[in-house]
Structure formats: structure tokens, C-alpha cells
Amino acid sequence: MVRVPESAPVLTVDEVESVRSRLRRSDEESRRAALAAIDGWDGRVVSPAAADSLLRAVTLAYPWVRNPRVDPASRLARALCAAPRAVDVHAVEAAYLVSGERVRRLLLHLLALRRDDDGVGSLVFLLGPDGPADLLPLPVAGMLAPVLSAERAADLVPVLVHLAGRTGWVWHAADLLEDLVVDGRVSGDQQRSIARGLAPVVASIVAACDRATLPVPARAKGADPVRDADPARDADPAGTADVAGPADVADPAGSDQLPVRVGHPAGRAGRDQSRADRFRLHSLVSLMGQLAPTVAEPVLRSVVASADPRVAAVGAVEMVSLDVAVAPDRLDLIARAPEARAELLDGLRRIGRLEDLAPRWRTTAARAEAELVRWLADDAELGRAPDEIEPVVVMAVGDHPDDGVVHLFRFRMRSPHWSSARGWMIGAAGPFDGDGSEVDGFDSFAVSVYSAEDDDDHDGHLDALLDSLGLWPDADEI
């Protein structure tokens, strides 16, 4: 905490009350002047009396200021954070119960900034299972991070495990728990309690990813998930059922199930339905990677068993990093999916265990395909992996062998995807060395401008792709 010089001016109760009064006026100019006055409080010493006045003020409702939109109560709460110990924790708890969500978020940050036993105890009460659950705000980055330096920060372990099961809290709770584990603040018994408490959370997220991956008929009939199935193949064996017709819909009269369209669910929606769940799972798996191997192994094995190879890849990398055996056949099966292969290659290279993956998945062509598919699957691009992708040609970047090569692929999407009318499109990834590693002095890329394959020849396609990246040299540089 920044120490304020003793000679710094003291913020008085009269100043706080004056600002509060102006913030509630109907004319916007008065409210803007009040906000400017709050900005001028930086570096001021907040006396206990002024802090109490600020705390009362943040519980009130104020007209927002437009252009840009500003919440005056949040501004007042931020000013209060300059003196987190100037107010009693019980008063903060009382204010939390009657404040809006933005202010509640800042009051939790205020308690975390105290970094003392009272602040920890108050957070345990407000955020724990016995606290006001209906008032829990969504977290933001760094909201509770200051409390990790408190002497009794480990008391928050059960609370953070509980929060991981609340909507929107998985990533923040997992990050805080991981920091505590890395700092050596968590005992062996607490590690086991973390694994036990988070196992159902991990299982529910994995199940959600499985539901988004498995074919619809298997889910509708209550069949057991088929691990490692190819969703696109199982949902459409002939490759022709792009949109369900009358024959593809279950007969309501002969079944207790509602009519269900066949096909890959992500394909019908046009977007990857499990992206958010996989983001949350990354945080939990990263936490498991910091626990003792014997504690984390059962949870990680449930991740590796996922029907979604992208999910299984995350768990497999973490298990390998803990020196927990993963069957080579399982790694091979995961690597068949290009997106999952990209995850495996990145993770295993990061921990120096790339040799655990079969050589055929470590080639330049295998990595280029993986990188391109991962890029195409982004929400800002196709939104999901292409339905089909094939290698076209390998092209040298320069005259010297050390310049590496770029792989051109063609890919296409089935109807009703927005790009399906273009047929086969061209994309590229590289440059890579012969062993699949990046070329020194070059930034690797994966890109497509979604031009149809028959629009140009190979050189023309590569020129257009490099030009889109700004990598193609000017004529006087050749």
C-alpha cells in the first residue's frame, strides 16, 4: 500500500457531503463538477470520519453521467479504497447488503485490500456458503488478489472452492487457489479438499463439452457417451445430411422424446458451443497441475476421458507435466483432431515432453494443419473447425532452406454455414522447419482470406495471404 505523506491534505466530511449532494442534483453540470472533485481527491488522507461518510454515500442511488457513462457510486467506492482500514468491516458488510452490483464488487476489493484478519473473516462470511448468495457479484480480474498476501489467506480455501461452483466464478476462484498453492500456503489436507470439492465442477464442465460434441441422437436416446467418437462422422456418415429433413426428425407419436434434428450441434448453431466451458476448464486444470500428482490424477483422468479431444488434450498435457502416465494410444487418438493436436503440441513443447507424441503428429504438415484449423475455428473467423480440410502444396518461403516452408490447404464448410457457397477455400500456415519447429527470424502464422481455390494459382493465393499479413516485401526489397 502506498504510504501517504503526513503533510498531505486531509479529506473532510464536509467535502464528502458536498460532493454527495451535488451528485444527486438534476442538472448534469453539477454532477460533472462533483465527479471532477472526486478525481481531485487523489493523494488526500481519508480520515475515519470521512471514510464513514463515503461508505454511507456509496449505498445511495445517483443519476448517471452520460458521455461517457459514469456510475457516481462506483467513483465514491474507488475513493474509499484509498483507505481500506479506515472503516469497520461490519459497516462494510452492512453497506454490501444494500448496494448495487458494481459497488458490491468494489467493497469486496476494499476488504481484500485490508490484508488483515478482519478483512479475511469478512470475506469468508460474505462469499461463503452461509453468506448472501443472491448478492454475489460477478468477479473481475484482480478483485480479490490483494488478500493473498494476508497472513490468514489460507482460510479462504474452502470459500474459493465453494465459489468455483458459482456461475462466472470458476476462473477467478481457480486462479486464486493456484496462487495460494504455488506460494506454499496450502497444506496437504487442503489440497485434497480442493480436489474433492472441484471434482464435481470439473465433471459438470466436461459433461457439458461432451454434450456439445457428441451426436444428437445418442444424447436424445439416453445412450452412454461413445468416447473418442468422430462427431462429424457419426452425425452424418454419408456426408450429405447438412440440414435435417422430415425423415431426420423423430416421430413424437412413437417416442417420449421431443423432435430432434440430427447433426453436429455446433454446426447448426454456426459457433463452437463449448468454447466458454473449455476456457473455464483451462483454469481448473492449471490449478490441478499445481497439486500433488496423487491428489490431482483422478480429476485429470476425468478430463482426459472427455469425448471432446480438445478437452482431453488439456488434461493430457497436465498429466504428462506431473509425470503421470498417459497411454500413447490415447495421445494418438487425441492428436487426430487438428485443434486438439495444436493444444498437445503447444503444451508438450512447453514442458519439454514433445517426444511423448508419435512422430507423425510432430511433422511440419501435421503442425501446419493444426495451427490453421485452430485459427479458422476462432469466433472471429469460421467459428468452428472446417468440415473438410486437405493439403494442397508445400511452398518454400525463400531461396535458402533455413527460410522454412509454408503449407497451403484447401478447406470447406457445409451448408448452412455462411462460407459454404464458396466451396473449397485456401488457407496457409508456416513457416516451419522440417521438424515442425518455428523458423528463426520469422513469426509463424496461420491465415486465410477465404478466397475460392479456383480463383487463382498457388503463387497467387500465397501472395494474397502474405499481403493480408503485411509480410510480402516491396519490389525494391527483393
Q: What are 239-247's contacts with CB under 8 Å, separation 24+?
A: 242/414, 242/415, 242/416, 243/415, 243/416
Final residue before a domain boundary, out of 318, 339, 362: 362
CA 448 to chain CA mean position, Å: 24
Do residues 145 and 54 both lie within one domain?
A: yes
Residue 262 placed within a domain: no
So what's the pLDDT on residue 271? 67
Do residues 35 and 80 both lie within one domain?
A: yes
Residue 324 placed within a domain: yes
Do residues 195 and 166 both lie within one domain?
A: yes
Comparing 199 with 435, the larger pLDDT belongs to 199
Do residues 140 and 158 both lie within one domain?
A: no
So what's the pLDDT on residue 212? 87
Give the mean pLDDT of 235-253: 35
Measure the CA–CA gap between 127 and 124, rounded to whole angstroms.
6
So what's the pLDDT on residue 293? 96
Do residues 383 and 319 both lie within one domain?
A: no
Do residues 157 and 146 both lie within one domain?
A: no
pTM to 2 decimals? 0.79
- In this structure, the number of other CB atoms found within 10 A of the CB of residue 221 comes to 11
- In this structure, the number of other CB atoms found within 10 A of the CB of residue 155 comes to 15
Give the mean pLDDT of 178-192: 96
Does position 474 have pLDDT exceeding 80, yes or no?
Answer: no
Q: In what order do the strands lie in the sheet with 405-412?
A: 388-396, 405-412, 425-432, 445-452
**Structural domain boundaries enclosing 46:** 10-150
Q: Are 287 and 181 contacting, i.e. CB atoms less than 8 angstroms apart?
A: yes
Q: Are 160 and 178 contacting, i.e. CB atoms less than 8 angstroms apart?
A: no
Phi and psi of 26, rounded to 5°?
-80, -30
Q: How many domains does the chain have?
A: 3
Do residues 458 and 396 both lie within one domain?
A: yes
**Average pLDDT across the chain, whole number:** 84
Residue 125 placed within a domain: yes
Residue 240 placed within a domain: no
Q: How confident is the model at residue 225 (pLDDT cuts 50, 70, 90)?
A: very low
Tell me, what DSSP letter sits at residue 123?
A: H
Tell me, what DSSP letter sits at residue 403?
A: G
Do residues 447 and 415 both lie within one domain?
A: yes
Final residue before a domain boundary, out of 318, 344, 362: 362
Residue 259 placed within a domain: no
So what's the pLDDT on residue 443? 77
Residue 466 placed within a domain: yes
Do residues 290 and 224 both lie within one domain?
A: yes
Residue 251 placed within a domain: no
Find the length of the chain. Answer: 478
Final residue before a domain boundary, out of 315, 340, 362: 362
Residue 253 placed within a domain: no
pLDDT in tens, 258-298: 333 333 434 444 567 788 899 999 999 999 999 999 999 99
Give the mean pLDDT of 384-389: 93
So what's the pLDDT on residue 433? 77
Q: How confident is the model at residue 367 (pLDDT cuts 50, 70, 90)?
A: very high
So what's the pLDDT on residue 92? 96
pLDDT in tens, 305-360: 999 999 999 999 999 999 999 999 999 999 999 999 999 999 999 999 999 999 99
Q: How confident is the model at residue 140 (pLDDT cuts 50, 70, 90)?
A: very high
Q: How confident is the model at residue 157 (pLDDT cuts 50, 70, 90)?
A: very high
Do residues 179 and 120 both lie within one domain?
A: no
Tell me, what DSSP letter sits at residue 428?
A: E
Do residues 217 and 334 both lie within one domain?
A: yes
Comparing 240 with 97, the larger pLDDT belongs to 97
Do residues 326 and 198 both lie within one domain?
A: yes
So what's the pLDDT on residue 312? 96
So what's the pLDDT on residue 438? 72
